[in-house]
Each structure stands twice: as structure tokens, then as C-alpha cells.
Amino acid sequence: MVHKLSFDVRDVPACARYGMSARKMWIFLKAMLFAWASWIVFVYLGYLAAGESLAARWSSGRLVPLPAGIFWESWPSVVLLVLGLVLAVVAILFAQLKTCKVTFEQIRGDDFFSGKDASRFCRAHHKPVIATPLILLVGLALAFGGALVFGLVVSIPAVGPIVGGLAVVFAWGKSLLIVLGGVAFVLSFLMVPAIVATTKGDTFESLFELFSTVTSQSWRLFVYYLVAFVCRTLGLIVFAVFSVAALAFLFGSVSLVAGNAYGASVSAGLQTLAPEAVGAFSSLVYPVGPGAYGEPWGGVAGALCALSAAAILLVLLSYWLSSACSGSTLIYLALRYKKDGEDLLQRADDEEYREFEEQYGVGEERKEETGEPAQRRPEIDEDDETEEDEED
């Protein structure tokens, strides 16, 4: 079913509903698992490069190790950490592109656009999602380097202060552009996946649309994202309340027969997986920790309960990210209509129709009669026509 849009702020609250999709949440769940695995592997490789004992780090970090101490003293460790972070960010960006595309097709009425279809689209149009933030980052780095050079010039005795005084207005204007670039860089992680998913644009078009939207629709952009944040937060709170109530019901029912060890094992899951990162405040349900309610299981059973607790939290986080991409898609559709008067939903329909015409042709008789394009009938073999005549 095609979803009717108003192309204004009234469309934005629907992001909370669009985010509650198992298909989109599964896309983000896989991406977060990949990002988590990248963090674990490259942080522990960094500790190995720094000469740290993995046994000691495992006892405190386990599945969420934190770089500390000797880690930051070794440049190979820092390089490995950056590489792991880059892989994690790329995985999340690809998941954003897939989710935005699924949302766009859902709004168009295609509820059967699958994750595999989104993956094929991502493989064909993933370059702008990576290149656009990278170009902005390089530009900001060059601008920062220029500011350092300007600082060196100002520090020249006698002449430097005079040059600095003359160039204040110019430097101020340049700094305004740098601030605008910084805002565009932050928003690129939210908007570029939505831009590519709705327009199939390349890197240049993504950059142009990003800056034109930020500069010409800045007030609407701020208000729309604020409304989306409030609605997504309310949706996440409702989802979390229902999740906690479900866990409380589960633990309470099991405790009547098997005691509190089951609930305590799940509630202590994050503390088991990440004692260094989480500390004592790792309970999913109990605010004071599981110790007062029972002794958690150990061994394989405790590990499975801990992983299950982490999976529940990742599902909640996947809803938050899914609703964010849904919101960005709705926001860009509305802002593009406000900015250019262009309905991207109708544009996508027209493009598909043109592709259909190119593939199957247009009926000449239909064109002569009505002046409108029509589908050409597929060719039928003469043998098939003979058989049909004999049957008649």
C-alpha cells in the first residue's frame, strides 16, 4: 500500500512506526555485531602490539575491552584501533543505506522489498556514503592545517601581528565556512544515506544536496530532526518498558519453580561480558544489581545468559538506529519537496516506468490512438498461434 505523505513536519512522527520493522532491525543487528567483533579483534591486536598480556586484559575486558595505559603508548596499537573503528563505521553506514532504501520502498508501497534487495542496492550505490564524509573530513583537515599556517605567520615578530590584524575579517569568514563544513560533516552521517537511497545520486549530487539542504532549509532541518528525536525517544521508552515488563514476567515465573538464579544470570549479563566497561551497574531489570536476588550461574549456562542479555540490548539499540534512518528518509523527502518542489516518490515511479519501456518497448497502436505510452504485447510464436486456432 502506498503511504500518502504531506511533505512537511506532519510526516516526521511516523519514523517511530517505520523503525519498528524486523527487517530493518535485523539489518542493523548484523551491522552492530560486525562492528562489535571488529572492536574486539583490533583492540586485542593492539594490546598484543603493545606487548600486553592478553590473559590479564581478558579478565577485565572480556568482550568489551577498553584501550588504556600501555595501549596509547604504542603507535601500532593506535593504528589498529583506528582501523577497527573505520570498519565499524563503514558497517553502520552500509546498514543505514540499506535501511533508508527499505524505508523509501515501503513508503512507495513495496512492502516486499527485502534485505537482499537492499544489499544489492548497497553494492551498486555505496560509494557516495563513504566518499562524502571522507571528502568533508579531508577538507576540514586542510582548513585546520591552513589555520596552523596562519598562526605561524601571526607569530612572526613585527610583521606577523600586522598581517593578523589585516586578515581578521577574512579569517573570520573562512572560519564560518569551516563551521558550516563541520555541521555538514556531522549531518552527512544522517542525511547522505537517505539522499542516496531516494535519488540513487553519486558523490557530487550527495554533496550538493547536503549543502543546499543545510543552507536553504536550516530551520526546518533543525525542527524536523528535533521532532524525530522526541518521537523516537518516546518509541524507545515504550519498547524498553515492554521489554523490561516481559523480562520481569519471565524471571518471576521461572523463580517460582527454579529460584532466582535464572533471572540473576541474565541480569548480570553485561557485567559478565564487560566488567571493565560496565562495572557493577549492569542489571537489565534490577537497579541494585543481581547480588541481592540470587547468585548467577557460571560456566556455559552463565555465558549463554550473558550473551542473551547483550542480544536484548542490541535489539533495543537496533530499533533506535532503524527509527533514525526512517526519520532521515522522511525528513529528506519533505525537505526536497520544500526546497525544489520535487516529489521523489513520483520521480522513482517515472524512472521505473522508463526502464520498463526500454526493456519491453511501447505499443505503437496505443501511442497513435491515445498519444500515451503503452506496453507492447510479447511476441507469440507461430506454432503457438496455430495451436490456439485449432483449439478454437
Q: What are 90-110's pLDDT values in tens digits?
A: 999 999 999 999 999 999 988
Q: Is 310 contained in some domain?
A: yes
Q: Is 155 contained in some domain?
A: yes
State whether 217 and 365 are in the same domain. no
pLDDT of the residue at 372:
52
State whether 280 and 354 are in the same domain. no
pLDDT of the residue at 229:
97
- Identity of residue 1: M
pLDDT of the residue at 317:
95
Which domain range does residue 372 map to?
348-376
State whether 333 and 352 are in the same domain. no
Q: What is the 3-state secondary structure (H, E, C) of 318-365?
A: HHHHHHHHHHHHHHHHHHHHHHHCCCHHHHHHHHHHHHHHHHHCECHH
Spatial separation of the C-alpha atoms in residues 145 and 139, rounded to whole Å: 10
Q: Is the pLDDT of residue 392 over 70?
A: no
pLDDT of the residue at 257:
87
State whether 40 and 122 are in the same domain. yes
Spatial separation of the C-alpha atoms in residues 287 and 284, rounded to whole Å: 8
pLDDT of the residue at 290:
43
Q: Is the pLDDT of residue 337 over 90?
A: yes
State whether 26 and 81 are in the same domain. yes
pLDDT over 70 percentage in the chain: 87
pLDDT band at 380 (very low <50, low <70, confident <90, very high): very low
Spatial separation of the C-alpha atoms in residues 73 and 77, rounded to whole Å: 8
Spatial separation of the C-alpha atoms in residues 47 and 32, rounded to whole Å: 23
Q: Is 18 contained in some domain?
A: yes
Q: Is the pLDDT of residue 88 over 50?
A: yes
pLDDT of the residue at 210:
95
pLDDT of the residue at 275:
81
- 133-152: pLDDT as tens digits: 999 999 999 999 999 999 99
State whether 35 and 138 are in the same domain. yes
State whether 188 and 316 are in the same domain. yes
Helix axes 299-340, 168-199, angle to 10 degrees: 100
Mean pLDDT score, 76-91: 95
Q: Is 254 contained in some domain?
A: yes
Q: Is 388 contained in some domain?
A: no
**pTM of the predicted model as reported, rounded to 2 decimal places:** 0.85
Q: Is the pLDDT of residue 289 over 50?
A: no
Q: Is 153 contained in some domain?
A: yes
Task: State the total domains in the chain.
Answer: 2
State whether 313 and 364 are in the same domain. no
Q: Is 390 contained in some domain?
A: no
Mean pLDDT score, 298-310: 87
What is the pLDDT of the chain when averaged over all its residues? 86
Beta-bridged to residue 268, according to DSSP, are none
Q: Is 371 contained in some domain?
A: yes
Q: Is the pLDDT of residue 318 over 90?
A: yes
State whether 177 and 45 are in the same domain. yes
Q: Is the pLDDT of residue 281 over 60?
A: no
DSSP-assigned letter for residue 158: T
- 33-61: pLDDT as tens digits: 999 999 999 999 999 998 888 888 888 88
Spatial separation of the C-alpha atoms in residues 333 and 227, rounded to whole Å: 15
Spatial separation of the C-alpha atoms in residues 318 and 313, rounded to whole Å: 9
State whether 357 and 237 are in the same domain. no
